Amino acid sequence: MVNIGHTHNAVSALQFLNPPHVLILEARFYDDINDMLMDGVTDTLNNVGATFEKITVPGALEIPVALQYAARRQNGRCFDAYVVLGCVIRGETTHYEIVSNESARGIMEVSIKHDLAVGNGILTVETIDQALDRADKNHQNKGGAAALAALSMLSLKQACGGV
């Protein structure tokens, strides 16, 4: 059984057939927030000996398309798991709802269609202060949590006979 949690013990308890190779898809819009999210992700991935590559896309709406491209690249075994990162902060228009909902829907659709282990670290917040608190690895560490989710799903997938 895979125990999904946010502690170092949860990370160290994960076991893999081989060291995982992870793709990080980053919607880089708020540099400081993305840097903090990446710190959490890389700490978690390094704790399990995972290797990773990072691709940056313009915004959260482009993440599902980039994930689709990456999934199609899998001739054999290119990436074992995926972490998606970004931040959407509410503004004065309905754009926030569109970006938040459609990026999440698209990520889930591609994940299911291609049987991918994905951790979603796209923050959807009301204020910059909320984003900073969630991104900071010494506070809520949502980047680390997204990496842990991806690794946990990979471990579950492998335990269930998936590659």
Residues marked as catalytic: 95
Residue whose structure tokens are 């829907």:
105
What would the two tokens of residue 48 be? 């399990």
- Which stretches of 18-141 are DSSP H helices? 31-47, 63-72, 95-114, 128-135
For 54, counting Cβ atoms within 10 Å of its Cβ (0-12 exposed, 13-18 middle, 19+ buried), the class is middle
